[in-house]
Each structure stands twice: as C-alpha cells, then as structure tokens.
Amino acid sequence: MITQDLFYALACLRRGELVGLPTETVYGLAGNAFDRQVVSQIFEAKNRPHFDPLIVHTDRLEKIFDFVEYMPPKAQLLAQKFWAGAITLVLPRKPIIPDLVTSGLETVAVRIPNHSLALRVLAALDFPLAAPSANPFGYVSPTQAQHVEDQLGIKIGCVLDGGNCEIGIESTIVGFENEQALIYRQGGITVEQIEAVIGKVQAQPHSSSQPKAAGMLASHYSPKKPFFIGHIPFLLEKYHKQKIGVLSFEKNYGFERQIILSEKGNLAEAAQRLFWAMRELDSMDIELIISELVPEMGLGRAINDRLRRAGAEKE
C-alpha cells in the first residue's frame, strides 16, 4: 500500500513491519536495525544473500554513537561536510547491532539521508533503520514509490510516498583501513568531492563474494532482459534481427524504443533518470537492451559502475 501518512508508516515500523522509505538516493526497504527478526525479514523480502551487509540509517550524528564505537578523523570530516547526504561511512560497530546486519563483520555501514520525510521518520523512532534498496535482490533500484509497491507491496507494511528520488543512484560508501579512506562503492557523492575534503582516496573494485559493504557485487542493478554495453551503432547492427531497446546518454539515435538520459549531457540528470529508464525499457516489448557508457568523470563514474554491473554476466 502506498501512503503519505507518516504516522501509519511509523506504526508499521514500531510493530516490526517493513516500510518502503524514500530517500534522496533510492527508496529503501526499512526496518528496525536493532531487531534481528525484523532484519531477517528484510533479507527474506528481497531474497538477498546473508553475506551482503546492510546500511543503517539515522537522523543525527549524535545518535550514531549509540551503535558505533568511534569515528576516525577523516570520517568525522566527511560526516561534517556531507551529512545529511548521499555518503555512507563504514565504522566499527557496537554489539547492539546484530551480526545479521553486518554479515558478521565488525564494522557497520551508516548514513544520514537527506530527505525531509525520511528524517521525520528517523527522528520519531527510538531505533535506527536498516534500509537496503527496496527491490528484489540484484534488480534495478527503485526511485519511485510505485516501483516498490509493484515488486514488494505484498511483503511489507506500506510504502511511504516521498516523490521521485532527487539523486537517483545509491550513496557513495567509504571505509577506513589503517586510517586510509577507501571507496567501496561509487555513488551520489563524487570522488572529487571527497578528495577535496580529506585528500587522495583509493577506489576499491567490487567483489563477487563476501563484500565489505553493500552494493559491491560484480553483477547487480540488472534488468530482467539481457543488457549489453558498447558502441550503440555497432550493437544496433549486431542485434538488428531482435527487438532492441536503446539507453543512450545524450545522443538521439533515431530509434523508436530509445530513452535518452540527458539531452543536455548533464550527468546529474542522467543519474537521476538512470534506474527509471532501465525499468521503463525492461517493461517494453523488446528482447534486449543496449546501452553506452557516459563520460568517466564526476557522477559519471557511479553511473558507469551501475551500467557495467547491469551488463555483467551472471554467475
């Protein structure tokens, strides 16, 4: 059920149900992060493997110390600069966080989302929310309430409608090893923005098993239809005998079933439209989707990360 009733959503969360929660990045599948049974429901609803850890959300920096041991100096700088916002920090956890949330790791990923409705929900609760993206595991992340309702509606208490997600791709995840900052996942805060605050950082490639943070699997964010990346004119010729959908950055290839991410070549607009476009194409009467990469700069790195993993061969 889609609702705009904040109090109904809060009642669902307090009685141990799951709620589709709007954020500025994507919609999350939210539940009490302190309750192991609720966390287990999140994994079950998404069909998510238990080795893939979750992100814990709260509304204020002071609350984070209820479940985090400490913050390295660079983490403090990033929190001060970007929270509330699209950055997740991986920090040493306290025992109050169930092992299931962290997939047994001694660290927990935490974030303060920059969405007024999400912050009102979090402020009203006496527990933080574990909230991975509100979609079946491996599929395209949801950026509208209807996306959540269509795929998980019967498994959850409600979907709190907060409109279209402003950023449209997940948060950037930053961890700290020996005081060195590592980017585990590209996202809504760019490498350039992070390096302007704490200096040079290292981007860690995604893994195929036992990831250190959410969203690090090699194959992820995938439409149901086959998804290929490359030079679009070449791919159009290669697959010309099949029904094709085209996802392009800014160029109009004159193809009937095409979605352009940003006719102005704007990477922020392209990011905001990416998952919506992938879902739209996936719903069309086509046999496969072809796409191209965007410029590898700023938000383009996060967009290309999602495109490459959508097109990765499934294990």
What confidence score (pLDDT) does residue 220 get? 64
CA count, 13 A, side-chain hemisphere, 169: 30
Q: What is the mean pLDDT of the chain?
A: 92
CATH topology of domain 227-310: Rossmann fold (3.40.50)
Does residue 50 contact residue 43 with C-beta atoms inside 8 Å? yes
Q: Using the Cα atoms of residue 68, residue 69, residue 72 and residue 76 in order, give the sign of their dihedral.
A: positive
Token pair 């195929």 in the structure block, residue: 208
What H or E segment, with its residue span, contains residue 174? strand 172-177
Q: Do domains 2-203 and 227-310 have the same CATH topology?
A: no
288, 247 Cβ separation under 8 angstroms: no
Query: Domain map of the chain by residue range?
Result: 2-203, 227-310
What is the sign of the dihedral through the CA atoms of 141, 14, 85 and 199?
negative
Q: Cα(118)–Cα(260) distance, rounded to whole angstroms?
A: 30
Give the distance between the most distant pair of CA atoms in the chain: 59
Q: What is the mean pLDDT of residues 225-231?
A: 95
pLDDT of res. 62? 94
Between strands 244-248 and 227-229, the pairing is unpaired
pLDDT band for position 209 (cuts 50, 70, 90): very low
Confidence (pLDDT) at 208: 43
pLDDT, one tens digit per residue, over 163-194 is: 999 999 999 999 998 878 999 999 999 999 99
Which helix (H) or strand (E) element contains residue 87? strand 87-92
Q: Using the predicted structure, report yes or no on whether residue 7 has a pLDDT greater than 60.
A: yes
Give 232's contacts (C-beta < 8 A, 6+ positions apart): 246, 248, 251, 253, 290, 291, 292
The pairing of beta strand 227-229 with beta strand 288-291:
parallel
Quick one: CATH architecture of 2-203?
Alpha-Beta Complex (3.90)
| % the chain with pLDDT above 70 | 94
| pLDDT value at residue 315 | 39
pLDDT tens-digit profile of 53-93? 999 999 999 999 999 999 999 999 999 999 999 999 999 99
Lookup result for tokens 């929660």 = 21
